[in-house]
C-alpha cells in the first residue's frame, strides 16, 4: 500500500531547507541512532554515506566508525581514559629517547608516535625529511589538527583514519585515476580529450587527491564532508571530488596546454567555492553509485 504524502511535512521540510535548516529530520534520526546501546555501527555508516553529518556529532561518529570507542556506550568513558593513558605513555617514551621535546610540533609528535606503535621508528641518527607515506601522514595530521582541538582525540583519529584507509583501500588507490577518466568521459568528454591531448591527464595531482584524501587541497570545512564518506566506507567519493574539481575549472583548464601548469594550478586551487564543489561531487557520487540500501 502506498501511503499518501503528508503536505504539512513536505511544507515543513521545504521551509527548513529554505531558511537553512536542511537536514533537520536527518539530525533527529542520527540522535536516535546515537541513543542505542550498543550502537549499530552499520547503520551509522549507512547514515554517514546517505546524509551529511551534523558538525556537533561528527567527531563522535568518526570515533565510533574508526573503532576508537566501542559500540557499547557504557564503556566509552573507560576506553577514552585508556586511550589518553596510552597517548601519554608513548609520548613520554619518545621524550625519554630524545626523539621529541617540548618544542616538537604536534604533527611531528604524532608521526613519531605512529612510527613507534607500528614498529617503524627509525634510529635517531637516521631521521630525515619525511618522504612517501610519512608525507601523506603529516598532510592528514595537519588537516586533522585544524579540525580537532584535543591532542589525544586528534592523534587517535589520525592514526585510525590512516590505518583504515591503507588497509581497506590500499589496493584500490592505484585504480582511482582510471575511474576518474571513466567518469569524466561520461560527464565531459571534451575536457577529457583536452587533458589527454595536452599530456595533463597523466600528471594530475593524484597523490594529493587520492593518497592524502585532499588534505592540503581542500579547506577543513569542505574536507570534513569528504572524509565523512571515506570513514564510512567509500574511497570512490575521492574520484567524484576530483571529477567535480576538473568540471568546475573547465574554462581555466581548457586554456592550459602544459602539464606542469595544470598540475600547479590544481595543487594550489582557489579555496572560495570548495563547499559547492564538494556538494556537487556528493550528488555525482550518488548519481553514479547510488546510495546504501540499509535502513536507517
Give the per-residue pLDDT at 85.
Answer: 98
Q: 218 lies in a domain?
A: yes
| pLDDT at residue 292, rounded to an integer | 53
| 103 Cβ neighbours under 8 A, 6+ residues apart | none
> Which CATH number belongs to the domain containing residue 163 in this structure?
1.10.8.680
Q: Tell me the three state secondary structure of residue 218.
A: strand
Q: What is the pTM of this model?
A: 0.88
Residues 129 and 80 in one domain: yes
Number of folded domains in the chain? 2
Residue 67 belongs to domain spanning? 31-168
Residues 6+ apart with CB under 8 A from 229: 48, 49, 237, 282, 285
17 within domain boundaries: no
Q: How many angstroms separate the CA atoms of 75 and 290, rounded?
A: 35
Please classify residue 95 by burial: count the beta carbons closer than 10 Å to its beta carbon, then call 0-12 exposed, 13-18 middle and 19+ buried: middle
Same domain, 54 and 150: yes
* Claim to verify: residue 157 and residue 254 sit in the same structural domain: no
The domain boundary residue, chosen from 168, 183, 211: 168
Last residue of a domain, one of 110, 136, 168: 168
Residues 6+ apart with CB under 8 A from 63: 69, 153, 156, 157
Cβ proximity of 208 and 216 under 8 Å: yes
Examine residue 3 and state whether it is found in any structural domain, yes or no: no
Q: With DSSP H G I counted as helix, E B as strand and the rest as coil, what are the percentages for the chain, rounded to 5?
A: 70, 0, 30
Tens digits of pLDDT across the chain (296 residues): 333 444 444 444 443 344 334 567 888 999 999 999 999 999 999 999 999 899 999 999 999 999 999 999 999 999 999 999 999 999 999 999 999 999 999 999 999 999 999 999 988 777 776 767 899 999 999 999 999 999 999 999 999 999 999 999 999 999 999 999 999 999 999 999 999 999 999 999 999 999 999 999 999 999 999 999 999 999 999 999 999 999 999 999 999 999 999 999 999 999 989 999 999 999 999 999 876 543 33
201 in a structural domain: yes
Label residue 56 exposed, middle or buried (CB < 10 Å: 0-12, 13-18, 19+).
Answer: exposed
Has residue 23 been placed in a domain?
Answer: no
Closest to 133 measured CA to CA, from 165, 155, 102, 103: 165
Question: Is 12 domain-assigned?
Answer: no
Contact 50, 296 (CB under 8 A): yes
Orientation of helix 220-231 relative to helix 55-65, angle to 10°: 40
Amino acid at each position: 500500500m502506498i501511503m499518501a504524502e503528508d503536505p504539512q511535512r513536505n511544507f515543513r521540510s521545504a521551509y527548513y531547507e529554505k531558511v537553512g535548516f536542511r537536514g533537520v529530520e536527518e539530525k533527529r534520526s542520527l540522535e536516535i541512532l546515537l541513543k542505542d546501546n550498543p550502537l549499530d555501527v552499520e547503520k551509522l555508516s549507512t547514515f554517514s554515506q546517505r546524509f551529511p553529518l551534523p558538525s556537533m556529532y561528527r567527531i563522535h561518529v568518526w570515533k565510533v566508525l574508526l573503532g576508537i570507542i566501542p559500540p557499547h556506550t557504557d564503556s566509552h568513558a573507560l576506553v577514552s581514559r585508556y586511550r589518553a593513558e596510552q597517548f601519554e605513555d608513548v609520548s613520554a617514551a619518545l621524550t625519554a629517547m630524545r626523539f621529541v621535546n617540548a618544542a616538537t610540533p604536534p604533527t611531528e609528535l604524532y608521526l613519531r608516535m605512529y612510527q613507534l606503535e607500528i614498529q617503524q621508528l627509525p634510529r635517531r641518527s637516521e631521521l630525515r625529511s619525511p618522504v612517501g607515506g610519512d608525507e601523506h601522514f603529516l598532510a592528514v595530521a595537519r588537516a586533522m589538527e585544524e579540525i580537532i582541538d584535543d591532542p589525544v582525540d586528534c592523534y587517535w583519529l589520525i592514526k585510525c583514519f590512516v590505518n583504515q584507509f591503507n588497509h581497506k583501500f590500499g589496493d584500490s588507490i592505484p585504480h582511482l585515476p582510471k575511474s576518474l577518466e571513466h567518469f569524466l568521459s561520461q560527464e565531459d568528454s571534451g575536457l577529457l580529450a583536452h587533458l589527454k591531448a595536452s599530456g595533463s591527464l597523466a600528471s594530475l595531482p593524484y597523490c594529493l587527491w587520492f593518497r592524502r584524501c585532499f588534505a592540503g587541497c581542500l579547506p577543513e570545512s569542505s574536507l570534513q564532508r569528504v572524509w565523512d564518506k571515506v570513514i564510512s566506507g567509500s574511497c570512490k567519493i575521492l574520484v567524484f571530488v576530483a571529477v567535480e574539481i576538473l568540471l568546475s575549472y573547465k574554462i581555466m583548464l581548457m586554456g592550459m596546454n602544459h602539464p606542469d601548469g595544470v598540475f600547479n594550478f590544481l595543487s594550489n586551487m582557489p579555496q572560495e567555492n570548495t563547499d559547492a564543489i564538494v556538494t556537487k561531487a556528493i550528488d555525482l557520487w550518488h548519481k553514479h553509485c547510488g546510495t546504501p540500501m540499509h535502513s536507517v
